[in-house]
Every structure is written in structure tokens, then in C-alpha cells.
Chain A
Amino acid sequence: MTPSHKKSTSDIGMDGSLMEALVRSRRFFTKGTVSDDLRTISQVGGREADDFYRDRWSHDKVVRSTHGVNCTGSCSWKVYVKDGIITWETQQTDYPSVGPDSPEYEPRGCPRGAAFSWYTYSPTRVRYPYVRGVLLQMFREARSQHDGDPVKAWEHIVENPLRAKAYKSARGKGGLVRATWEEVSEIVAAAHVHTIKKYGPDRVAGFSPIPAMSMVSHASGARFVNLIGGSMLSFYDWYADLPVASPQVFGDQTDVPESGDWWNAGYLIMWGSNLPVTRTPDAHWMTEARYRGQKVIAVAPDYADNVKFADEWLAAKPGTDAALAMAMGHVVLKEFFVDRQTPYFTEYVKTYTDLPHLVRLEEAADGEYTAGKFLTAADLPDHIGDENAAFKTVLIDSVTGKPVIPNGSLGHRYGEAGVGSWNLELGDVDPVLSLLDTATESVVVRMPRFDTPDGAAADLPRGIPVRRVDGHLVTTVYDLLLAQYGVGRSHEGQALPGVWPTGDNRGYDDAQSPYTPAWQEAITGVPAATAARIGREFAQNAEESKGRSMIVMGAGTNHWFHSDTIYRAFLTLTNLTGCQGVNGGGWAHYVGQEKVRPITGYTQIANALDWNRPPRNMIQTAYWYLHTNQFRYDQFGADTLSATTGKGQLAGKSTADVIAQSARMGWMPSYPTFDRNPLDLSDDAAAAGKPIGEYVAEQLKSGELDFAGEDPDAPSNYPRILSIWRANLLGSSGKGNEYFLKHLLGTDSSVRATETPEGQRPVDVKWRDEAPEGKLDLLMTIDFRQTSTTIFSDVVLPAATWYEKHDLNTTDMHPFVHSFNPAIAPPWQTRTDWDAWQTIAEKFSELAATHLGVRKDVVAVPLTHDTPDAMANPHGVVRDWKKGECEPIPGVTMPKLVEVERDYGAVAEKMNALGPLVDTLGATTKGVTFELSKQVDYLRAKNGAVRGGVADGRPSLKKDVNVCEAILAMSGTTNGHLATQGFKTLEKRTGVRLADLAEEHEGKQITFADTQGPPVPVITSPEWSGSETGGRRYSPFTINVERKKPWHTLTGRMHFYLDHDWMTELGEGLPVYRPPLNMAALFAEPALGTVSDGSAGQVEGLTVRYLTPHNKWSIHSEYQDNLFMLSLSRGGQNIWMSDRDAAKVGIKDNDWIEAVNRNGVVVARAIVSHRMPEGTVYMYHAQDRLIDVPLAETSGKRGGIHNSLTRLLVKPSHLIGGYAQLTFAFNYLGPTGNQRDEVTIIRKRSQDVTY
């Protein structure tokens, strides 16, 4: 230290003598003390102002709750309350530790969740019940005219065309007025009673999606709808979130790893899933895993937020992902199976996939063949009489060279003989993967292809080694797969016949031959060498790490028309490389918040299975395809999609015909079912003195009775009532929004399409010259905020928010059950969903007791997955009784028919108590039946018993907390007794050890009080396929792999090959690349890239692909109207486009533009960004129509929403049912409401907008 610095502090002067003099003078003006060095002044008191900032962050209590918004977050939050007002929320930080070698769950939460409390007191809050004024006035008048009978009053209005039109045409045009709960519930109840009486209970529909986001709230209305016999509409398929490849390949509804398992992956591909944006609270696992050496790849068409985290970015063109995956699969097969055998992979595919199973080849023209059906025991003379022989597949043992019927196939799952043998144990058998070494000959098989830009079908010949088994010419799935992927081999020194990739670099550079890396480059734009290298690295990592390569996939790749082919191309990568059923590996498909962990208990309550079975569960895509009349605007037949190798089974059929066929064959559900009130149908059968099944089959055959779906425009077949809660159908999920407005609601719309010309119209489904408008009599919505749906509703009821009720919430992304808890009581006149539906149920019961009484209802039930129904159609052969191909036999060739007694006056009593069927019949989930009598006793004690009425002595469900307890007590994941019991049941059938998975928690039961404390992980249970035993991270199918428990498929293994008739017809027996639909060819939209000047009657502008990905500033439509999110984003509706596209039509950033296609018109602002690829625009999903939506120039109507440009397109193969894993279950299988193949014209509009 130099001497010059050795001054004491007091020696250091002020900035100058003037300054010093000024400060020194302070002591003359103050009571405080100025220090000698003039640096400080000390005052006595004067801290009153502190109270301001201390009060700002003070609070009276903290309540644990979460958000039920279908974001998959399921984050636990602290909600702060001060002076009875919810003030703000912060993330909970008390998750259990993941263990010493992993990051923790925290932080969990995102800006959207942190902004939620704004809604409690927001201007968009629905505070009171509302009814459209014109309807309310008519109702009051009609009620007094009919001596105060509300049912007659409702009839008076809706059965009079003029009166009905008066209020229906006013929908969406304001005029909602306040009413009381008393009056509103009376209107709603009267509408239900009238509809059930006149048209039938299946004309009533309920829509509330994603039970996992708030199970009690979902169950509230669902329970009511199911008690009266209404139809609950599916959501997973409807949202296009359901990857149809999951039932096809796994025979399971989506089961995926929790986000904590990403940490275990060594190689992670984010493929069409933008983790930081759409999985915000989980994304940290991915960023952390990178520090562990994980390689991260992003496949996205745009420079998305997740791309910056990736080591490499593959910018595949939108919708071409399957081409990239097929090429990667080509490399994996070539380098890890053919050029070199990889023991880990080979063992894995022999045990856990259908690759060694035998497939018969069918002779086509010119001595060439096509792939046919699986060889089964029924095809072998020695086994033809075996139990379920047609459902036992065959493979060849390499030791003996003889065909063997292995354990574990569907035929072993049911029947006496199969007890103890439904497992994947191969014993001494070593399955032969390829027949190449033992083949007697090789034949040429025609492999379908669709890789021309317009997706037209073609095929190419490829040779396959074959042999004969009991006279059948067979090969293995593996040999077919190699042929499909174009991986050539030699047989006895000679190359197999047919067309194969040739040339340098193992043929990878052959751009003409599918599915080489060079071939994909022309389609996806990803360099061939990169595609090959990534595929190689993926497999290399899987080989070295024993399966720890993972593909995170999502809406970006799943919302396409041909998403099932895209996903099967992905799953080929994970399943070939032994990644499935391994922690840190396999598919990780994330879309909606699908996983209801306490599934068994929830299902009993929501489907009202404790009182009557079965429920009416409807596939929503087909429902709206028919009832919003979108089928009237199709310009092509179902056979447009057929392969050249098909047999023409779809020829001449429209999509509506295919839906009708699927329904009448019992494949898919169909509600309303018949063109007669199902209550009357039961009476008619009784009058005829015949059992219902026999009577209905006869009536159908004679044509006296028809399916409602074959004449959806008959007034008696309309859906009449739709109740929506926890959902925003018209602002978020309603593909073909303008068709909804026009035909379902009967109000203003911007539909611009022309109807299907004669010649292409449906054949089996009746075409009425006049398309109906305003089919729906009552649209009721329960919500806590105004949405695009509430403003079109006739009745809007005010709901409690997530900070105002008790409920349960779970997710795929973590293993905890979170509770909702009220921070405040529901304010204004809001009520919890449970309360609201109780109110409606009570009023309904009161009116129904006199108007309806006790009736019998005929429920038509489709063939159902995880039951012996899956064996209704051997070999997946189509048999249509209507075409005389077989007899109509309920439960085999047509839907089952079940009579259900409905005591309409007792609906409210039943709703409020747990019914007796859970004791007598138990509860079945995925084929495992749980015995629940102890749990019912427990609930009787916990919730109290009901006294008097039909539910005398039953456990009460009066309060939402009671329902929470019931759900938790009756599910294996939350009740160790049941998990263990279920595994023991399953042990009997499989003959493998399972119960130990749950035994560590046998005595553990998670009660509602437990969920109110720090997060509690669930228990390993047969309800799901993964294991959390010992605190490991959840990964699906680990039980299947580690315990040799079969998948719920035909072979009991994961399927590469699907032999159903219609799969063959579409050329999708094996993974294949199908490009996005060509809208120019199908609907005469302008070709992509066309710039029109507006001449020749066209709309001027640029034609681009129109995608609706998910938003950074909202979760669906939630939060996009939230002041905080509006401030962070640009606010209002906008469309992202590339700077190059914008320049073509003179659009500048923030300009007002219009997007126009045949389905409708959208007005939005342009966001011009170089992050966007040329030729594609994004309109982020569900921006709703409540903020800044001006009138459109093109239509003169108010500019629409993102779904104004979309419409429903149904893929016939999604309608397959009644065959092995391709059998219906609710939200397990059904046609997807896809929307990504759409195109639109973008035009610059006048910058002066009017509202």
C-alpha cells in the first residue's frame, strides 16, 4: 500500500468545498445527527413509509393449488390471499428429491401459470348466469302460457321454426342478459327433458376434455350426461393429439416417459416438439441433460425456440418428417441389422416386436405378390382346433426350423387354455428373424409407395425370401420390413429380385429409390449425409447405452392427416434399436395432459359406472364431420387414399359412407345411434316380445330401422343439446369453425366452399337437397371467462376458477397427484362445476320425475378394446352385413345392444352417491378387474352414507372433496392395496411375477389430505405400463420389457406390420412415407407458392401452407386474453410469415392481412420474420375471437379464428375396429381431427380496419 492511500476515511473530502459547505450546513436544518465525515445522517423515527412496501408483499394465507389448463405442466403453486383477495402466486418448491445423481423437479411453473390470478377479478370473468335475451324472453312468455310448465315452454319454442330461428340466428351477436341460477337451471333441465322425451337421450351431448386437468370438474357433467344416457364426446382423437400409431403399434393409449426421464437419455431428438415453449416447466431437464453429455437434435421447419438448445438442427419441410425418419430407418436396418448384426437389437426385436412373426403372401398379377395376413394357428392343420387359434401368430424356431406358436399373442389373453401363458417368455425357442438363410425361394412383392409430390399411389417390386408352411407361402415381418425400406440382400449369391438402391455409399446416394438418405433429401431438404449420420448416431448410442436414445415428438409431427405413418416411421427407429421400455429411451409423445393416473376411480365416477353400464362414448371427429355437415363439402372419395396394391375395398365410397360402415359393423361408436328414440326402441322390442338384440338386428336387416348416421340431416337425428365445460370448442378445437357456425348453430358464417357435386356424394348416407342450419337447440357453456364459445352459447353459467375449488390434477410429465384447493370461496354467483351440475341435476330430476319417469334405454356399444371383442374379426377381414357379407350379429358383426334402466327422477340422488355396481361388478381398467368392496366401505366411513332414496346407505359424493376421495381410493396408482391386487390378478393370466412391483407400497393409500401437502408420487399399478418401483423415473413399457408382460396387440408384441384389410387397402401395412394432402388436387385450392393477381375470380395473394402450432403466450386460448400475456406478446390475432413470402405480396411487418381459403376468412396482423421458412405461415393456435378481430373485406363478416381456415378430414384407417389392437376404446382409437395439411391465400388488405 502506498502512503498516499493511507488516509483515514475522515480525511477524504467531499467533491468540493462548496459541496462540503452545503452538507455541513445541514445540521442547522435538522433534528438528526450529521456524522463528522458528512457521509451519514441519523434520524429518529420516520419509517412510516416502510409500511407501504412491506404491506405490498404481505399476505394472510397461502393455499396450495394448481392449474387445469391442459398444458401438461401440472405444477404445484402457492396462491396468496390478502384481505380475502387472491393477490398472486408463486411456484411450490417442496417436490421430493429425485435422488443424488439427478437434477430436481424444481423449478416447475411458467409465466402463464404465474399470471393466472389475474383472471379471478378480470373484466372477462363470467360472474353471473347469462341467457340470450331473445330466448329468455320467449321462455318466460311460453312458460306463463303453459301454466308454468318449463318443459312445455321449451317445446313451444324449439318446435316452432320461426321462434327457433329467432334465437339461433342471434347466436354470437351479443344480447346475453343476466338471469338467476334458478331460472337458468330450469331452462337447461327443461331442454334436456324435452329432448330425451321426444328425440332420445343420445341426442344430448357433453364435451369436456382432458379429465387429468381437473378430474372432479370433468366428472361432474360427465356423470350427469352418462346417468341420463347422453353421449360424451371424445377429445384425444378429436384434438388430433391421439397418435393413431400408438394403438396400432403398442395396443395402448399413449404412454410416455415423464420429463425427468429425459435426463436418462444419451441421445435426444426433439421432433416437432418445441420443449421450451410447450413444456416450459419440464424443459430444464433437457437443458440439464446436455451438461451430462446428451446430444440434442432439433427437427423443426422454422427456427423455433428449442432449436437454439440443439447441437444440430434438421429443418425438414413441414409434413415430410416421415421421409426423414424412413431414411434414418434405412440406415439403421442397413448398418445395424444387415451389414452387421447387433446382438442387443436382434435379441430385442425377436422378443418384443412382431418382426419374427410370419406373414402369408397373396398372389397378385403376373406371378408377383402382396403382403397378406399374419399366419396364425388357425392356418396350421395341427392347431386349427386350438382355442382362439385365429389370434395366435406363428414364428419359426431357428433350432428346429419348425413353426412355433409362441406365448403372449391375443389368443392367449382370453379363454381357459391361455391362463398363465399370456407372456413373452420364449423358453428355448430362438425365433428366426429372416428367412434368408433357410428360404426355399424368393418372390417379388409389390410394395406400395406414395412419394410423388401429389401423393399419388404407386408401387415398386422388391424381392423377399420365402418358404412354405403347411402350404402357405410365408415370410417374416422383418423380411417385409427390409423390402419396404429398400435394404437389399443376396440370396444364395444372387441379389434378391426387384428394384433396390444402387450405386455408391451403400446405395445411400441413390435418389430415385425409396427410402435412401438421398431420396429423402429431395423431399425434406435435409442433406442426405446429415440424415444418414443422425440415424447412425441414434442407433449407435442405443447400442452402446442399451436403448437410451429418445425421440420427443409432438403436435408438429402429429397433427397431420397421415400422422400415423409419420409416427410409425419414428417408432421404427426406437423399436428397432431396443429403446422402448427402457429408462431414457423410446418415444416421448407429448400433446395434451392425457394421463389420469388414478384412472380406475376416475372412470367409475365420470362414466357413472357405479349406477349403469355401459356409457355412450362417442368419437368426436366423426360426430362433427357429420353434424356440422362438413361431409357435404368433400370433393373426393375415400378411395383417393388407396394404394395400387389394394383390392378396391374403398372404391366408390365417400368418407361419410366409411364412417357409416364402421358404425354399423360395430367398429366405432355412433351416437345418436338409430333413427328412433332408443327409449321407444326398447318399448317396441318389448311390445314385439323379443330380446332387444334380436329385435334390433331384424329391424335393421328389414330396413325398418336405420342408423342415424346414415341420415344425419333428418331433424330427428340432429344433436339437440350440447353442454360444454372446461373447454372452448368454438375458439380452440373446432376444426371447420365456419361449418359449426353455419350448420350446427345457424348463425352468420364465412363458409366459401361449394357442396360436393353429384357423383361424388355419399351412397349409403342420405343426401338431402337442403342442408340444415341451426341443428342444435341448446348450447350451454360453463366457464369462468368469456371465450369464443360462451359468446355463441344460449346459456352461460359462471364457474369457479382453479383457485376456488377442490379437485385433482395429474400429468404425463411427473408422477405426482396435485390437488386444487380454494384460496377463496367462489366469488359473485360462480359455482364449482360439481355444484353447477348438481343444481342442473336436481332441477332435471324434479321435471323428469313427472315427464319421463323410469324408462329403458337401448345403448349400442361398439366392440371394445381389452375385451374378447378384439377377436370379433379374424384376420381383420371386413364383413359388412348390410352388403350381405354376413348376418348382423350384435357384438360380432354389429354393435352390442344393451338395455339400461334409467330412473330419470332419481338422477340427482344417483349423482350424489357412489352406486352399487362398483361392489357387485368391480372396476375394470385395460382388462384388469379390481374388486372394490373394501374401498366402498372405506368411503362410506370417510364420506358418510346417504340416508333414504335410491342411494340409501351408499357413500356420499355430495361434495367435491368426497369425489376426490372416491377417485383416489378406487385407483391402483393411489391405493397400494388395489395396485397389488391388480398385479396378482394379472399374474394369473400372464404367469409372470408382477405383484412385487407394488408390494413395497401395498399399505400406502394417498388420500386427499395427502395431496394437499408436498407432492406425493403415485404407486406402480397395472393401470399403466411403466414402473416407478424403487423411486425410478416413469418410462412406459418397462413392465412389458422387464417382466415379459405382453403388449395388448395381436402378437402381444410391438407391431411393425398391420394386416387389417383397410390397412392393406391404404398401403400402410408397413411404415411408409405419405406426403401432406395435396389441397390443390383434392379441393381445387391454388397450388402452393402461387401468386395470384386476383383475376379470374380468384382471391389475390400468395398461397402458402397454413399451420397452427402452439403458442408461447398462451395455453390454447387460455392466457392469450390475460393482460400480462398480452403485454408480453404483440396481442390480438397474428400470423407469422417469412420475409421472403411477405415481399412477394408487399406485406410489411405488422400490416393487417387476410388469410382466405374455401373454409373461411381470418383477419390478423402479419409478423414478418426470417425465422419462418418460405412457403409456410403459422397462425398460433387458439388466439380466440375476443381481442381485436375486425371485419374481413373478403366476407364482410367478422374476421374468424385460426379454425376458420381448417376443416375435418377423416382417414378411413382410423375407423377400423373389432380387430386386435385396432379395436375401439374411448380416447384410445378414433379418427383424428387433424388440421395441418391445409393451405391458405395470404393477401394484404386495407390498413383501415373497422369493427
Chain B
Amino acid sequence: MNEFLFVILPYLCLTTFVVGHLWRYRYDKFGWTTRSSQLYENRLLRIGSPLFHFGMLGVVGGHIIGLLVPQSWTDWAGVSEHAYHVVAVTGGLLAGVMAVVGMAILMYRRRTVGPVFSATTRMDKVMYAFLAVVIVLGMWNTIAGSIMTIGGEYNYREGVSVWYRSFLAFHPDASLMADAPLGFQLHALVAFGLFALWPFTRLVHVFSAPVGYLTRPYIVYRSRDDAQLGSHRPRRGWDRVG
């Protein structure tokens, strides 16, 4: 059972994530969008969206540090367990609260503002459900596990993180997850579910975040291809004469 939940299923999800994105990019370039609803409503969006997105940036950063950096490295760098804990919990809590509050505003907006709700697809609703559960579980793990220590103390850096790295290295060790508290297990499982949905939702916009705009001059010139005479690429089967 654990093999399935923490090895097979995650790999399936991850495969779907990767292949799904390739497929979407190949066949639905013009559907690769945030499906912005800014035109329909912007008062709530102006507060909710930055809160959520910047909160999520923090959350993702925290996960990268927490999951990918082995405890041995921080130990080696002389970061004490306590110091790490304080930084992680404080930062995580701040980012988490931002994300949760932002998400709450956005979901409230999405449900109550008529035009926005009308522009909400079935896929959006499923995705929102997964996203909300993942975030809420993550907050719960942070609060319950690391602050209130309900159900005893658990150092995820010795369990979940190690499993995750083993998973990425294709040497998965399901037992590590099996020993984790239920909250962590659920968080991971639902998160993988979200990864599986990802390519089929508006979440694809994560990969087209307009980072390049930060450094781009206003005007872009693109030269015409030398092989091409007019403004249109030559069509298949038509040879250039002369």
C-alpha cells in the first residue's frame, strides 16, 4: 500500500505533470493562459492576487529549502536546529498566512462576483479545491506539527525531505513517508494530485511568468528570415522561383 501511495502514485503524477505540459504546449499554445478575470473585477483582485502570489513565492521558496537542502548541509554550515526552526517557522508562517488570506479573498471573489463566477470553468473549480486543500494542510502541518506539536514532535527534515530527495533520485524509500504523521502524508498526496492536474489548468501560467519583462527594452525588432521572400513563410509544396 505504501509502495503505491508514496512511490507509484507520485511517479504517475509527476509523469502526467511533465508529459501533460509538453502536450499542452504542443497542442494548446493559444490556450496557455492565466484566464485573467481582471476585466470583470479588480477591487478585490488588487488585494487578493498579490497577497496570494507573493505568499506563494515564499511558500515555494520555503519548500525548496526544506525539501531539497539536507539537514547535514545546514549542520555543516553551523546552523543550529533551533535557529533553523525559528527561521523556517516564522518565514513559513508569514508566507503561509499571506497565501491563505490571499486565497480566501480570491475564492470569495470568484464565488460572489457574478461575471467572475460565470467565467469559472469546471476545471478551475477542481483545481481550486486541490489547491485549497494542499495549502490548508500545509498550514496545519506547520502550526500543528511545528508550533503546537500536537501528536508529538516530528522533524520532517529527517523523514519527508529525505523521502522526497530519494524520490527525485529514483531510489524511493516509501517507509520514510509511512512513518510520517498523517498530515504530512495527506499534504504530499494531495500535492501530487495537484501536480497531476497542473498541466490541464490555468496553473500552467507559472511557467510563463513574465520575468523577461523586467529587463526587456520597450521595442522588439525581429528580422525577417533570410529564407523567406514575403512576410509569410513559404508553404509546403511551393518552391521559390528564381
Contact = CB atoms under 8 A, between A and B. Distances in A.
Interface of A: 22-23, 25-26, 29, 34-35, 38-48, 50-52, 54, 58
B217 A47 contact: no
The 4 residue pairs across chains A and B that have the minimum distance between CB atoms: A26-B215, A40-B219, A42-B221, A41-B217
Max chain A Cβ within 10 angstroms of own Cβ: one of B216, B217, B218, B222: B217
A1015 to B, nearest CB: 33
A1146 to B, nearest CB: 25
B236 to A, nearest CB: 12
A1128 to B, nearest CB: 19
Given A43-B222, A43-B223, A45-B222, A50 B231 contact: yes
B233 interface: yes
A44 B223 contact: yes
A39 B216 contact: no
B218 to A, nearest CB: 6
A39 B219 contact: yes
27 contacts: A22-B215, A23-B215, A23-B216, A23-B217, A25-B215, A26-B215, A34-B217, A40-B217, A40-B218, A40-B219, A40-B220, A41-B216, A41-B217, A41-B219, A42-B221, A43-B221, A43-B222, A43-B223, A45-B222, A45-B223, A46-B222, A47-B222, A48-B233, A50-B232, A51-B233, A52-B30, A54-B231
Given A23-B215, A40-B219, 12 more contacts: A22-B215, A26-B216, A26-B217, A34-B217, A39-B217, A40-B217, A40-B218, A40-B221, A42-B222, A44-B223, A46-B222, A50-B231
Contacts of A51: 232-233
A315 B24 CA distance: 61
Contacts of B223: 42-45
Given A41-B220, A54-B231, A47 B225 contact: yes
A405 B224 CA distance: 87
B217 to A, nearest CB: 5
Q: Taking chain B's interface residues, is the majority helix, strand, or loop, or is none over half, making it mixed?
A: loop
A963 to B, nearest CB: 39
B214 A22 contact: yes
B217 A38 contact: yes
Contact of B217 (A29, A35, A46, A58): A35
Contacts of A50: 231-232
Interface string B205-218: 00000000011111
A914 to B, nearest CB: 46
Contacts of A54: 231-232
B215 A29 contact: yes
A51 B215 CA distance: 27
B25 to A, nearest CB: 14
Nearest to B228: A47
A52 B221 CA distance: 18
B210 to A, nearest CB: 13
B123 to A, nearest CB: 24
A22 B211 CA distance: 11
Contacts of B218: 39-40
Contacts of B232: 50-51, 54, 58
B221 to A, nearest CB: 4
Contacts of B214: 22
A50 B228 CA distance: 13
Contacts of A38: 217
Contact of A43 (B220, B231, B233): B220
Contacts of A46: 222
Contacts of B219: 39-41
Contacts of B220: 40-41, 43
A653 B224 CA distance: 86
Contacts of A25: 215
Contacts of A29: 215
A58 B214 CA distance: 35
A38 B218 CA distance: 8
Contacts of A42: 221-223
Nearest to B220: A41
A977 to B, nearest CB: 49
A35 B225 CA distance: 21
Max chain B Cβ within 10 angstroms of own Cβ: one of A35, A47, A48: A47
Max chain A Cβ within 10 angstroms of own Cβ: one of B214, B215, B225, B233: B215
Contacts of A47: 222, 224-225
Nearest to A55: B232
Contacts of B216: 23, 26, 41
Nearest to A43: B222
A40 B222 CA distance: 11
A637 to B, nearest CB: 58
A23 B218 CA distance: 10
A42 B222 CA distance: 6
Interface string B127-163: 0000000000000000000000000000000000000
Nearest to B221: A42
A43 B225 CA distance: 11
B71 to A, nearest CB: 35
Nearest to A47: B222
Contacts of B224: 47
B24 to A, nearest CB: 17
A518 B216 CA distance: 77
Contacts of B222: 42-47
Nearest to B225: A45
A25 B211 CA distance: 13
Contacts of A58: 232
Nearest to A45: B225
B159 to A, nearest CB: 39
Nearest to A51: B233
B202 to A, nearest CB: 21
A222 to B, nearest CB: 47
Contacts of B231: 50, 54
A45 B220 CA distance: 12
Max chain B Cβ within 10 angstroms of own Cβ: one of A35, A38, A39, A41: A41
Nearest to A34: B217
A44 B222 CA distance: 6
A51 B228 CA distance: 12
A140 B233 CA distance: 58
A1138 B170 CA distance: 74
Nearest to A25: B215
Contacts of B221: 40-43
Nearest to B212: A29
A52 to B, nearest CB: 8
B118 to A, nearest CB: 15
Contacts of A26: 215-217
A40 B219 CA distance: 5
Contacts of B30: 52
A29 B215 CA distance: 9
Interface string B224-242: 1100000111000000000
Contacts of A52: 30
A1241 B203 CA distance: 55
A1223 B215 CA distance: 86
Interface string B30-56: 100000000000000000000000000
A39 B220 CA distance: 9
A22 B223 CA distance: 24
A25 B215 CA distance: 7
A17 to B, nearest CB: 14
Contacts of B217: 23, 26, 34-35, 38-41
B209 to A, nearest CB: 15
A58 to B, nearest CB: 8
B119 to A, nearest CB: 16
A25 B221 CA distance: 18
Interface in B68-97: none
Contacts of A48: 233
B29 to A, nearest CB: 9
Nearest to A58: B232
B185 to A, nearest CB: 41
Nearest to B223: A44
A224 B223 CA distance: 65
A47 B231 CA distance: 9
